[in-house]
Amino acid sequence: MYLPRSRISQLYEHLFRTHHPLAPQVLILVALEPDALCACRILAALLKHDYIGHKIQPISGYDDLTRAGETMVSKMKTQNGGEGGTVVCLGVGGLVDMSSVLGLDVDADGPEIAGGVEVWIIDARRPWNLGNVFGGDPLVLPGDSNDNIRSRASQVNKGEIQRAYVRGQGGIIVYDDGDIEQELLQEREAYCALFEMGDVQDDYVSGESDEEDDENVMESTEIPQTNGRKRKSWSDDDELGDEEDQPPRQRRRNGSSSSRSPSPATNGANGHNYNDSPSIQVPSTAPIQKPSERALRRQFHRERQRFNGVLHKYYSLGASYSEPISSILYSLADELGRDGNDILWHAIVGISSLELYGRTMTGVGISTPLEEGGSAGWGGERGERIRQELRDEVHRLNPPDPNDSGKEISRGEASGVIPTTARSPTDCSIRLSPEPRFLLIRHWSLYESMFHSPYLGSRLHIWTEQGRKRLHKLLAKMGVSLSQCKQSYTHMDMDLKKGLRQRLLSYAPLYGLDGLVPPAGRRKEGWGFVRCWGWKGCFSAIDIGVIVGAILEVGKHGIGNHDNSRSRDHRTSGNGTTEVADESGTLESEEWVSRFWEAYDALDNIDALKRALPVAQHLHRAILRTGTSIIEKRQIRHLKAFRMAVVKEGPDVALFNHPSALTKLALWVGEAIAEQERDQRGKVGRDGRPTPLVMAGLNEARGVFVVVGTGGGGGVNDFAARAHRKAKSEEKRRLQEEREAEKQKKRQERHARMQEDGGEVEDEESEEEEEEEDDDDDSNDDSDEESEDRKRNKFGNAFQEVVDETNARVRIDSFEHCVVEVKKEDLSGFLESLSMKVVVG
C-alpha cells in the first residue's frame, strides 16, 4: 500500500491520537548513511515531542535486516504474544518484499497474517518493489470474495490508502514522494490486473489438438523478479550449498524461466502466492456469438503477457534516486507544524550529503558534461527546486536581527563573503552562503581545500605535476600568494577573503572552472547553507556531510588502525583474545553499526564534529593519494562495457573496505579520467557521457573484493546550462511563432486562390502536411526526453545476471544496487562476464 504525498501526516496523526503509555514502542530501522541518519533525527524529534516511545536500530545490510525481523519484529506479532506496533524503515527495504524479509508472512494466514505489525517504508532508492507499493494489504488476499474486496476498497483502493483508512491492522505502507501517483499509473494497473487474474498454470492450456496454438498460448509469461529468489552467497566451506538454506535474495529484477522464485507481480507483501485462485474470471461476451474457450484462454494469456511486459520494463530501467528521505521527513514535520531550525538543519544536511556519494536521479555516478558546475547537489532541476524551498525556509525561520541594522547582511550574504564566524556568542541561526566547490574550506587552508576538491582536481588534472602548476598559476592570477593560501583559511587576510568570490568568478573560467562558485542572483540559486554554534565554530551543510560520512566509513578513532588492518577485521573480545571477522562479514557489520551512534551524536555536538575533522581529512587525503597512484601507474583497464580498476595494495587499501568510501574513490577516479579524455578527444564516451567505471577494493582479512559500479549519469545542476536551455527554448518558441504567422499568411493566400479556382482539396492536403511536420517535431522532442530517462545505472541488473549465469561466489548484502562482494579467486571471471552486460541504459 502507499500513502499519497498530499496526506503525508495522516498515519502519524492517527498514531499520535491512539498512542498511550502502555502502547508498544515504535521501532525505527535506519540505514547507515547520512541522509537516513538525518531523517532519523527528525523523526526522533517528532516522537519525543509527542511522548511516543521509540527504539532506533541501525541496519547495515540485508542480512542485518533479516536478523532484525527474526529478533525484534517477530516479537511484536500477535501470534507470538506481542501487541503489534509500528516499524519505520528509513532508507531500508524499498527494493525488497518486506513482508517476506521481516517474517510477517511466516506460518500465518487470514486476517492475522501481518500479526498487527504495520511497516512504514520511506526510501529514496528506485525501482520500488511493487509488492510493497500496490500490495501489502493483509486484509485482502487472492481469491477473496468481491464483497470483501469492495468493502476494503473504501480504505485501500488499488494500493492507495484512502482517508477512511484505519491504521493498526498491519501491513506494508510506502510513503509516496509524489512519483507513484504521477509516474506509476501503468505499473499500478498491470500489478492489480495480475493480482486479480490469480493462478494460471502452464498445463491449463495443455491437451489441445493444435500444438502450434498451444505453444503460442504457453509462451513464457515470466516477469522480472526482485526478491523471491535466494541470495547467492558463499558458505563457510566455500561451497555454494543448497539455495534453500541461504538467506533470501534481496534484489532481483531480471528473471529466467528456470527461476523458482515468485515475482513481484505474483508475490504480494503478505508473502502468499497470488496464483492461489482456483479459477479464472473471464470477461463476459456478447450473447449472440460466444467465443470459444480456447479464444478466451488465448486472450487471457495475451493480457497477462502484456501486463508482465509493463512490469518487466519498469524493473529493467536500472537504479535511480528520488527525493531524499530527510526532505520527506521535513515535509511531515512541516505538515504537523513542528518545523524549526534544528529539524530544518537536519534536512539540509541530509540533502546536501547525497552529492558526496554521487546519488543522482540516474543512479550512482558522476555528473555529465551538460550538468557540471553551478551548484553541486542532488537531483538536477528537481533537486534545485527542493533546495530553493529550503532557502525560503531559512529566510522564514531566520529573519534578520533588527539590531544589526542590515550592516552584517550587507557585508555578508549580499557581498558574497563566505561566513566563518557567528554574529554573536549565542548565534545558532542558519545562513545562506556562496559556497565554492572546495572541500572543508573553513577547516583547512585554502590551498589544501582546493587541492582535495574532486571538482577542481579533476579539471586541473591535479594528480600530475602540470596540474599542480595550473593550480599555482590560478592562485597567482587571483593575487593570492602561496604563503597566504597555505595558512588556515580563518586566519587569512580579511581583504583576500572578501574578494575571493569575485576573483574566482573572474579567473576560474580561464581554466574551465565555470561552475566553481554559484552565480549571483536575487533568489541565490546554487548558494549553500551554513550554521554557527556561537563562538565555538561554523560549519556548512556539506562540511557536516563530509565529517559524518567519514565517521560512518572510518570511525571516529580509526585513523591509525587502518595501517595494520586491525580496526575493521579484528576485534578484541572480553577475555583479551582476538576475533577475526567471519566470511559473512558479521563482525564487520557490527562495527559499522557502532559507528552509527558516534555519527548520530556528532550531528548536534559541535565538539564531536571538531574531534572528527582529522578523520574526514585523512579519508580525503587517502582518496587523492590512491586515485593519483591508480592513474599514474595506468592501472585502469578498458573493457567492452566499462573501465575497471582494482585497489589491492598500498597504505590506504584497508580504508576502502567500506562500500561508501570505495564509492567516493570510484567517483573521484571516474571524474578524473572523464576530464582527461575530454581534453584529449573533445568528448567523453558514447553520446558525450562518461564511461561507467567498476572499482574493486581488496578486503584481505576476509578474502573478498568489494565491487562498486558507477555510471555516467548526471544529476548535478548546471545554472549556465539551464540559462542556455532557457534561451534556446525562448528562441525556439519565437521561431515557432514566426513560422505559424508565415503559415497563416500562406493559408490566407491559398484560400483566396482556391476561392477563385473553386477548389478546396489542395488547401486541406497542405494543412495535413503542416500538421504532420509539427507532429514530427514533437516526437523528436519526446524521444530526446526518453533517451535522457534511459541513462541510468544498471550495474545492479548486470551483477544479478552474472550471479545467475556463473558460479562466481558473490554476496549481495548492500542496500545499494551497484555494490557486491566477490570472492578473491572469482573476481576475474566475474568481471569478464560483467563486461558483456549493459551497465548504463
What are the tens digits of pLDDT across the range 83-118? Answer: 889 999 999 989 999 999 998 876 555 445 678 899
Same domain, 38 and 84: yes
User: What pLDDT band is residue 170 in, cutting at 50, 70 and 90?
Assistant: confident
Same domain, 10 and 127: yes
Residue 718 has pLDDT above 70, yes or no: no
Question: Which one-letter DSSP state was computed for residue 760?
Answer: -
Q: What is d(CA 702, CA 778) in angstroms, rounded to the nearest whole number?
A: 55
Among residues 733, 761, 789, which one ends one of the domains? 761
Same domain, 241 and 140: no
Same domain, 166 and 92: yes
Q: Has residue 21 been placed in a domain? A: yes
Same domain, 86 and 143: yes
Same domain, 65 and 132: yes
E strand or H helix at 634: none
Q: Has residue 621 been placed in a domain? A: no
CA atoms within 13 Å, Cβ hemisphere of 510: 13
Among residues 482, 497, 517, which one ends one of the domains? 517
Q: Has residue 596 been placed in a domain? A: no
The residue count of the chain comes to 841
Q: Which of 255, 96, 93, 228 is nearest to 800 (CA)?
A: 255
Same domain, 145 and 10: yes
CATH number for position 51: 3.40.50
Among residues 473, 502, 517, which one ends one of the domains? 517
Q: What torsion do the CA atoms of 209, 211, 217, 220 make, to the nearest 10 degrees?
A: 150
Segment 59-75 shows an average pLDDT of 93
User: What pLDDT band is residue 491 in, cutting at 50, 70 and 90?
Assistant: confident
Q: What is d(CA 585, CA 110) in angstroms, rounded to the nearest whole number?
A: 38
Q: Has residue 114 been placed in a domain? A: yes
**Relative orientation angle of helices 325-336 and 10-18, to the nearest 10 degrees:** 60
Is the distance from CB of 536 to CB of 424 less than 8 angstroms? no
End-to-end, the C-alpha distance of the chain in Å comes to 29
Q: Tell me the pLDDT tens digit for each residue of 378-409.
A: 667 788 889 889 999 999 999 877 666 445 44
Number of domains in the chain: 4
Q: What is the pTM of this model?
A: 0.81
Q: Has residue 822 been placed in a domain? A: no
Q: Tell me the pLDDT tens digit for each residue of 597-636.
A: 999 999 989 999 999 999 999 999 999 999 999 999 999 9
Is the distance from CB of 128 to CB of 181 less than 8 angstroms? no
User: Tell me, what's the pLDDT at 384?
Assistant: 83
Work out the mean pLDDT of the chain and round it to a whole number.
Answer: 77
Total Cβ atoms within 10 A of residue 145: 8
What cell does 465 get? Answer: 605535476
Tell me which residue range forms the domain holding 496: 437-517
Same domain, 78 and 210: no
More reliable by pLDDT, 558 or 816: 816
Q: Has residue 65 been placed in a domain? A: yes
User: Tell me, what's the pLDDT at 582?
Assistant: 57
Residue 544 has pLDDT above 60, yes or no: yes
Same domain, 155 and 225: no
Same domain, 303 and 165: no
Total Cβ atoms within 10 A of residue 622: 23
User: Tell me, what's the pLDDT at 753?
Assistant: 74
Collapse the DSSP code of 767 into the 3-class scheme (helix H, G, I; strand E, B; otherwise coil) and give the result.
helix
Residue 739 has pLDDT above 60, yes or no: yes
Q: Has residue 36 been placed in a domain? A: yes
Q: Has residue 378 been placed in a domain? A: no
Same domain, 170 and 248: no
Q: 542 pairs with which residues across the strands?
A: none
Same domain, 155 and 272: no
